[in-house]
């Protein structure tokens, strides 16, 4: 038990004050670090320059108070919070990462009688439970899998991902261009599209290039077009769609009269969304095309959920949940 009751470190006020010795101060700091560990908060790290950094006790306490939803002004409160977090801790962390198909031993906090893994394809693989760890000897395919524990209510998600998406080419020719800048003199809609990216890739291949790079293509909100603040990282940006390549398209692409040296996201985005909406209305009366769209939604439920989300945002505003 920590004997001291107060220590002055937080927001300039006396919250925990050591009675006399530096030893007691160390004990209290140790208790705070123990709570941080139990809560999954790192009290120290190494920055990008390789320099060790340590979180101040003031900042650490502020984070821990926010996470626990309580005041941590005495050593007793800190110890109680750590005990409760440890007691309520999941037997296995909710998410684990497998690199290149290899899952490191998974720590077990508590008792587990048995476990098994279900792959994304539905195959079941054995899991060894020993020495407070879970071990999988099989090399996992890339994808999203689940570890199921005997008696547990929810599984642990295992994300199996490659260490790197593609091998880095050595001294190879490549080209880099944002898709939005790939405006064509023919059928200029005010912004480049995926069709133009395909044309660039074909041209690059002919010239001997092996790499084509661009900026993120993820979906964005109409009032925040930056791909670095996406509406979803699992959906493509609709304003970059080549609407003329859509099945059954018979309309006219929205034409731009703006300066070709600049991209007006508001104008181009609104025009493209109107064109997509018109396409939806027109194809609704075409059974063959409509069947393809419905089937696509059935085969891609996350895309369908995202479409419903964006429709709700359009109707009630982006912060409709607030």
pLDDT tens digits, the chain, 322 residues: what are they? 334 444 444 444 444 444 446 766 777 788 888 889 888 898 888 988 889 999 888 899 889 999 888 888 887 888 888 888 888 778 888 999 999 999 999 999 888 899 999 999 999 999 999 999 999 999 999 999 999 998 888 899 999 999 887 776 778 889 999 999 998 877 788 899 999 999 999 999 999 998 899 999 999 998 888 889 899 988 999 999 998 888 888 877 787 777 778 888 888 899 899 999 888 888 888 999 989 988 988 888 888 899 999 988 888 887 766 4
CA distance 18 to 1: 14
Cα 172 to the chain's mean position, in Å? 31
CA distance 272 to 246: 13
Give the pLDDT of residue 26.
75
CA distance 256 to 269: 11
- Between the alpha carbon of residue 57 and those of residues 11, 15, 35, 53, the distances in Å are 10, 11, 12, 13
CA distance 52 to 60: 16
> For the chain, what is the radius of gyration of the CA atoms?
27
**Contact predicate 31/3, CB 8 Å:** no
- Between the alpha carbon of residue 312 and those of residues 53, 112, 135, 317, the distances in Å are 43, 43, 43, 8
Give the pLDDT of residue 168.
67
Give the pLDDT of residue 320.
64
Residue 135: which H helix or E strand, with range? strand 133-135
pTM for this model (two decimals): 0.57
CA distance 204 to 13: 63
∠ at Cα 304 (298, 307), nearest 5°? 155
**Contact predicate 304/234, CB 8 Å:** no
Give the pLDDT of residue 201.
95
Nearest CA-CA partner of 247 in 288, 212, 207: 288
Give the pLDDT of residue 114.
93
What structural domains does the chain harbor?
1-45+53-89 (no CATH), 95-161 (2.60.40.10), 174-316 (no CATH)
Residue 282: which H helix or E strand, with range? helix 265-284
């Amino acid at each position: 038990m920590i004997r001291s009751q107060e220590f002055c470190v937080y927001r300039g006020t006396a919250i925990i004050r050591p009675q006399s010795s530096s030893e007691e101060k160390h004990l209290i700091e140790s208790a705070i670090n123990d709570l941080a560990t139990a809560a999954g908060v790192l009290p120290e790290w190494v920055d990008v320059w390789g320099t060790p950094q340590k979180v101040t006790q003031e900042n650490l306490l502020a984070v821990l108070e926010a996470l626990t939803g309580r005041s941590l002004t005495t050593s007793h409160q800190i110890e109680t919070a750590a005990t409760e977090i440890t007691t309520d801790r999941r037997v296995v962390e909710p998410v684990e990462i497998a690199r290149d198909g290899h899952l490191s031993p998974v720590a077990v906090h508590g008792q587990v009688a048995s476990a098994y893994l279900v792959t994304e394809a539905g195959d079941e693989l054995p899991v060894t439970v020993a020495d407070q760890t879970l071990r999988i000897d099989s090399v996992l395919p890339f994808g999203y899998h689940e570890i199921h524990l005997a008696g547990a209510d929810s599984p642990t998600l295992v994300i199996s991902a490659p260490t790197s998406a593609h091998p880095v080419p050595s001294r190879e020719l490549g080209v880099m261009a944002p898709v939005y800048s790939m405006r064509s003199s023919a059928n200029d809609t005010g912004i480049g599209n995926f069709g133009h990216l395909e044309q660039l890739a074909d041209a690059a291949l002919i010239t001997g290039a092996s790499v084509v790079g661009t900026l993120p293509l993820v979906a964005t909100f109409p009032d925040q077009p930056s791909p670095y603040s996406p509406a979803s990282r699992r959906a493509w940006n609709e304003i970059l769609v080549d609407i003329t390549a859509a099945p059954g398209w018979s309309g006219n692409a929205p034409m731009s009269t703006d300066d070709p040296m600049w991209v007006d996201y508001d104008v181009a985005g609104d025009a493209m969304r109107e064109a997509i909406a018109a396409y939806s209305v027109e194809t609704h009366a075409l059974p063959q095309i409509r069947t393809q769209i419905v089937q696509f939604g059935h085969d891609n439920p996350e895309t369908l959920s995202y479409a419903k989300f964006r429709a709700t945002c359009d109707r009630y505003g982006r912060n409709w949940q607030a």
